[in-house]
Amino acid sequence: MFPAPDPAVLVLHGAGVDHREAEACFEPVFDGVAGLRRIYPDLPGMGRTIAPETLRSADDALDTLLAFAGAVTDGAPHLLVGHSAGAYFAQAMATRRPTEVAGLALVCPLLPGLRDVPEHRLVAGSGGIGDDGFRSYFVIRSQEMLDRYERYVAPSAALVDESALERIGERWALTPVQAPPYAGPTVVVAGRLDSTVGCAAAVDLIDHHPHASLAVVDDAGHALPHEQPELLRALLLEWLTRTDRSS
C-alpha cells in the first residue's frame, strides 16, 4: 500500500499551540487508514518540547525536526503534513530529504513573500462569542468552534516558551538551499479569508511542485482545519490515494 510497512505520517502544528490542535484536526482524516502510524510532536519551545539556548533560529529548529524525523522513521519514506508554521518546516524538510518523504501536505502554509493578506472578518456566527484569541482566529464562530478552540487551542498557550519563540523568530527565515522543489505527491490547502498568511503565496506553490493539487477554500481562515473538516478530509484522502499510487 505505502512505501514501507506501517509507514509514518508526521504532522507538524503551527506556532503558539502544541500537538493537541494538530491531532484534533488531522486524526479524523487518518483514523481508519490501515497501517498508517501517526506521529504528532510538539515543536521546539511549544508543548512539552524544550528549546535550549543553543536553538536560536528557524534553521536550528529545522535541524531538530530533521533529526527527530530520522529517529522516529529510521529513515524510511514517510508522509509529512504541516499547518501554518508547521507547513513551513514540512516543505523545507521535503526539499532537503526528498527520498525520505512519500507525500507532502501543506495546510494554510506560512511562507516567505506573504502578500495580499486580507483583513480578518466574520463570515458566520456571533461576533461576541469567545475571547480575543478565538475571535482573531476563527471566521466561523459557533459554539462548536468555540468548544474546539477551548479544548485544543487555548490550553497550549500556557505551555509556550515565549522567550524561545522570540529568539527563534528573530531569525525565522530558513536559509535557502540549492535543490529542486519537492516533486512527490503534494496537496496545498489555503483559506481565502486567512488573515494570518493569506492565500496568494500558497497559490504560487502550484508552479513549484510538479505534482501538487491546490485548493483555495472560501469562507475559511487560518483555522480552516477546524472550520472545514469534511472538505479537508476529502482533499487529504485524495492525496493519500496519490501517495499510494506513486509508491
- 144-195 pLDDT, tens digit per residue, is 999 999 999 999 988 999 999 999 988 989 998 888 999 999 999 999 999 9
pLDDT over 70 for what percent of the chain? 98
- pLDDT band (50, 70, 90) for residue 1: very low
The average pLDDT across 6-29 equals 94
pLDDT of residue 130: 87
Write down the architecture of domain 8-117+160-246 according to CATH: 3-Layer(aba) Sandwich (3.40)
234: pLDDT strictly greater than 80: yes
| pTM of the entire predicted model | 0.94
What does the domain layout of the chain look like in residue ranges?
8-117+160-246
Q: Which 3-state string (H, E, C) describes the chain?
A: CCCCCCCEEEEECCCCCCHHHHHHHHHHHHCCCCCCEEECCCCCCCCCCCCCCCCCCHHHHHHHHHHHHHHHHCCCCEEEEEECHHHHHHHHHHHHCHHHEEEEEEECCCCCCCCCCCCCCCCEECCCCCCHHHHHHCCEECHHHHHHHHHHHHHHHHHCCHHHHHHHHCCCCCCCCCCCCCCCCEEEEEECCCCCCCCHHHHHHHHCCCCEEEEEECCCCCCHHHHCHHHHHHHHHHHHHHHHHHC
